[in-house]
Amino acid sequence: MLELAGVTKRFGGVAALSNVSFTVAEGEILGLIGPNGAGKTTLLNCISGVYRLDGGSITFDGRRLDGLPPHQVARLGIGRTFQVVKPFASMTVRENAAVGALFGSGQAHLAPKAAFSWADEVLELVGLARKARLTVGSLTIPDRKRLEVARALATKPRLLLLDEVMAGLNPVEVDEALDMVRKVHAGGITIVLIEHVMRVVVGVCDRVIVLHMGQHLAEGTPDEVLQDRRVIEAYLGEKYAARRHG
């Protein structure tokens, strides 16, 4: 479904991404992990059109994405969330979700009545149906993250890019978010997720790619990657490895 070949992105003289290549199969949940500054969010920004590439190519369903602006990428069927959630504060939860349906992918570009109907469905999916009429300012951080996912889902993506939707959540909230991701995936959506919570990576990912200093460090199943000596040294640390094997 998605192919990255030699993706390179520089900021000034610094390469945030250097010759990164991998594919994403339709129906897969792919995890992206690595230390802060590894280039994970930069990579999502390149896929979604926020950044232009300095080298390489990105192809989605046989169509080149590099060079397309974000709204055109979204209309091809790629939705995403952002690390720092920025809902429309003056709108209700339902209105925020409807924005995705009004301005999303080609199949999600709906008339207002249909957009609100679809918004109700995605809010039900992410567990916010009972809070649809509330203003965004009354939501907790976990609920704002759910709304970020709902707004992305409202665009009717075939591929969903999730940027640390579990960050800052307590263990119970993480379990709830995991269930949400599984439900989204069960609806036929391919997922690429950035995550630091290893329980999430092990719990939902079919395959994991590790980035380090803007480069592809390792790839494999969660168990393979979490036992990789290079990954332990660059990211996880010896204490994590000891706990995992203890």
Query: If you average pLDDT over residues 95-110, what whole number do you get?
Result: 75
Q: What is the pTM of this model?
A: 0.92
Three-state SS string over 10-67 comes to EECCEEEEEEEEEEECCCCEEEEECCCCCCHHHHHHHHCCCCCCCEEEEEECCEECCC
pLDDT band at 244; cut points 50, 70, 90: low
pLDDT at res. 218: 96
- Span 204-234, pLDDT tens digits: 999 999 999 999 999 999 999 999 999 999 8
At 142 the three-state DSSP class reads helix
Specify whether the CB–CB gap between 167 and 33 falls below 8 A: no
- Span 6-45, pLDDT tens digits: 999 999 989 999 999 999 999 999 999 999 999 999 999 9
**Dist CA 139 CA 146 (whole Å):** 10
- Span 114-172, pLDDT tens digits: 889 999 999 999 999 999 999 998 898 889 999 999 999 998 899 999 999 888 888 89
Q: What is the CA radius of gyration of the chain?
A: 18
pLDDT band at 236; cut points 50, 70, 90: confident
pLDDT at res. 107: 57
Closest CA to 104 of 119, 89, 86: 119
